Amino acid sequence: MQSVLRANKHVAGRMRTYSSIAITANEEIAYSNDTIKTNTTTTSTSTAKVDQKQPSQIKHLLQSIPSSRLAQSYKTTALYITASQAVVVEKNDQIRRELIKLREQRDYISLVKIMEIWSASNIDNMVEVLGRETITDYMSEMIELGYLSVVKHYDLRPILKSLAIQNNTGSYLKNHKFTPMEMITKLRKIYNNLLYDPKSGDFMYDFERRKDIYNSKAATGHKLNVGDFENLMQMELGHYKLDLASRWFKLFRQYFGGDKGFGKYMTPKMWTMALQTEAYGQNSHWESKGSNLATYRINPLAGRVKSRRFRRFENVKFTDFQQDSIWPDLTLHFHSALIQHFGYKGDLDQMKRYIEFIWGVDASGKLVGKKLDVNDRLYPDLNFLKNLFYALAYHGEFFAAIKYVNDFKAVYESIKERNRKTFWEKVFKSAHHSTTYSMDAAFQYFLKESKYSGKCSTLADAQNDPNFDYEGYLQFIDKLKKERRDVIGHVWAIVLNDDEIVFSNYIYKRYLAYLKGGYEDEVEQSYYDYMTSLLKQYQRHHTGPNSFTRRAGQGFEPAPNYDDNIRVLYGEAIRSLISYKGKNMLLGQLEPLIEEWAFDEEMKEELAEWVGKRMPYFKKDLETKRLQYMLKLREEDNEKSEQFLSLL
């Protein structure tokens, strides 16, 4: 108990500052500290021209980026460098003010374009005007934007899959172009221009620079600082390039203390990313595998280059960091990454000991140590709870994970529930994986568990074997189906009834796939309920294309196009219901269904055309079933006739 109390007191130490922002949005610009090279041979005439031209020119160029004139404006910096110091200082201050304005407006798209062009034109002037710390800080914020574009891209994947099913991708994709690699490419170019002359064609990921990033005849002489390595790791880690993130971490260790002394240069954020890169401390990188009841494999890193991991992080223990001076400064993100490492390894005992050490909650979910104050920097948030849950549930312990997280949340009842959507997406994902099953895998599992001694390998053969417990098998399948229906239904009900959970493409798409699986007893009613919930979400989120919340460059993130995504999922749902009715010989209900439930006139026309193409198949299927039914009646009549004749 005393050790737990000491631990909680120790980790609550004051944070040290590891980086600072050279120019903030509200910071006064110090004009007197600029040191610009001047040439005394400049004439007073040229000085006057510069003084009249530069302020308005820079403003105009920044407003019209990207353009060739912007690149030219930075090239002219070298031409005007001979001007008087006062004029050049004024020009540089104008550039800085415009960049700060873009940053305040969160117009990072324009900011990254400016820095890409400027760095390619005159990197020395860019470093001189902004300073290395400010460049690093700007890059950090733009890398965060790049990460958000990756998140948007993956968030859109359920919608793209739905469009593919409906064979209707044209108009939607034209208006929804998420190109995360475009942003990543620009950010890479800026750092590449910082290191090498752009004209040389040298690239920081060339083979000859794997061991020494500065190995180039075209090197600019600018060196990467700790913040730059942090940025580069985050940039590559954010779009699942773990091999490149690991490479930057290796180079960082090489230039800052070696494999044994690098720790004193590490920031808390770098420690977190090191765990995510080298020790599976990020659950979005984990591979999902099947169980005894289902065969599937989902690897988010499929096709990525594998890298050799740093041995120090192969089997991390939480005691490894307690003796380091960094320990009092490690953030909640770090502890979350370490917990995920334990979860991936399946070392749940050490994970729960660690949770007890920091937060005072034991393996049974009870508070046995000191509870952290709500203002403590390690007080858990919903993101931490999400990662804790998934780390526990990853190896199939879904129900145990739910119970433990509920108990933990009961202790830390003041958890700020921001971004509840991602938490429930993880819960829904785990609910799906933990209850999914395939008929073939379930049959083989039942044979093994029932100790069946026969040689039948298929259900059709086993049904004719008196030693096979067919009734027990049917009960087993019913149990699996009921468990899946109960778990998915319970989570789905929570999502529907909680207005604080923002609309999720993943959850709604996954639930639609569940409905298609036929697990519900009332299939048609389940579809109607689903479409009704989508209509409610549409009414809640619909905004016009000219709405203020849809505008970019207003200092906030534009509202997502939820209404467009909802329309796509609705289209897939009504098509699925039409197919269900068509396959069950309810062709007369198709036209009324479209008339009453189509989203709008445009969807009515789309569905009418879609049904028209499939109607021949529906009618053929109907005729086949009719013939089968008539054949069955004849067989029954013949059987009755034979029985009657036998009586005579």
* Cβ–Cβ under 8 Å, residues 110 and 65: yes
H, E, C per residue of 105-120: CCCHHHHHHHHHHHHH
Encoded amino acid at 369, one letter: G
Higher pLDDT, 560 or 441: 441
- CA–CA distances in Å: residue 539 to residues 255, 302, 505, 536, 637: 56, 38, 16, 5, 57
Query: Residue 300: pLDDT band by 50, 70, 90 thresholds?
Result: confident
Report helix, strand and coil shares of the chain as percent, to nearest 5: 70, 0, 30
* Cβ–Cβ under 8 Å, residues 407 and 361: yes
Distance separating alpha carbons of residues 250 and 373, to the nearest angstrom: 38
Q: Find the helix or strand (DSSP H, E) in which 639 lies.
A: helix 601-647
- Residue 227, strand partner residues: none
pLDDT of residue 349: 93
Q: Please name which of 391, 388, 392 lies closest in space to residue 415, comparing C-alpha atoms.
A: 388
Reduce the DSSP state of residue 204 to 3 states and report it: coil
Distance separating alpha carbons of residues 243 and 247, to the nearest angstrom: 6
* Average pLDDT taken over every residue of the chain: 82
Residue 13 has pLDDT above 60, yes or no: no
Give the percent of the chain with pLDDT over 70.
79
Residue 510 has pLDDT above 70, yes or no: yes
- CA–CA distances in Å: residue 216 to residues 70, 191, 202, 210, 212: 28, 15, 7, 12, 9
Q: What is the dihedral of CA 167, 170, 172, 177, to 10 degrees?
A: 120
- DSSP letter assigned to residue 42: -
For 150-154, 163-167, 548-552, 630-634, which range has the lowest pLDDT when averaged over its residues? 548-552
Distance separating alpha carbons of residues 58 and 453, to the nearest angstrom: 84
Distance separating alpha carbons of residues 552 and 297, to the nearest angstrom: 39
Distance separating alpha carbons of residues 250 and 273, to the nearest angstrom: 13
Q: Is 610 exposed, middle or buried (0-12, 13-18, 19+ CB in 10 A)?
A: buried
Q: What angle do CA 231, 236, 241 make, to 5 degrees?
A: 160
Reduce the DSSP state of residue 367 to 3 states and report it: strand
pLDDT digits (tens, 9 = 90+) for 525-534: 999 999 999 9
Q: Is 254 exposed, middle or buried (0-12, 13-18, 19+ CB in 10 A)?
A: middle
Encoded amino acid at 383, one letter: N
Query: Residue 491: pLDDT band by 50, 70, 90 thresholds?
Result: very high
Q: Is 273 exposed, middle or buried (0-12, 13-18, 19+ CB in 10 A)?
A: buried
Residue 26 has pLDDT above 70, yes or no: no
Residue 285 has pLDDT above 60, yes or no: yes
Higher pLDDT, 58 or 276: 276
pLDDT digits (tens, 9 = 90+) for 569-627: 999 999 999 999 998 889 999 999 999 999 889 999 999 999 999 899 888 888 888 88
Higher pLDDT, 171 or 122: 122
For 393, other C-beta atoms within 10 Å of its C-beta total 25
Higher pLDDT, 156 or 588: 588
* Cβ–Cβ under 8 Å, residues 38 and 88: yes
For 316, other C-beta atoms within 10 Å of its C-beta total 22
Helices (H), 108-241: 108-130, 132-166, 170-175, 180-195, 226-238
What would the two tokens of residue 408 be? 């933990």
Distance separating alpha carbons of residues 582 and 588, to the nearest angstrom: 9
What would the two tokens of residue 192 be? 């590449």
Q: What angle do CA 358, 362, 364 make, to 5 degrees?
A: 150
* Cβ–Cβ under 8 Å, residues 263 and 271: no
Within a 13 Å sphere around the CA of 612, how many CA atoms are in the beta-carbon half?
Answer: 6
pLDDT of residue 337: 96
- Residue 219, strand partner residues: 196
pLDDT digits (tens, 9 = 90+) for 317-352: 777 777 667 788 899 999 999 999 999 999 999 999
Q: Is 16 exposed, middle or buried (0-12, 13-18, 19+ CB in 10 A)?
A: exposed
Distance separating alpha carbons of residues 609 and 332, to the nearest angstrom: 54
- Helices (H), strands (E): how many in the chain? 25, 2
What would the two tokens of residue 210 be? 């794997």
* Cβ–Cβ under 8 Å, residues 42 and 84: yes
Span 428-443, mean pLDDT?
Answer: 93
- CA–CA distances in Å: residue 499 to residues 96, 409, 493: 43, 20, 12
For 373, other C-beta atoms within 10 Å of its C-beta total 12
Query: Residue 30: pLDDT band by 50, 70, 90 thresholds?
Result: very low
Q: Find the helix or strand (DSSP H, E) in which 291 lies.
A: strand 288-291
Instruction: Give me the phi and psi of 295, to 5 degrees please.
Output: -115, 110
Distance separating alpha carbons of residues 449 and 117, to the nearest angstrom: 66
Instruction: Indicate the pTM of the whole model.
Output: 0.79
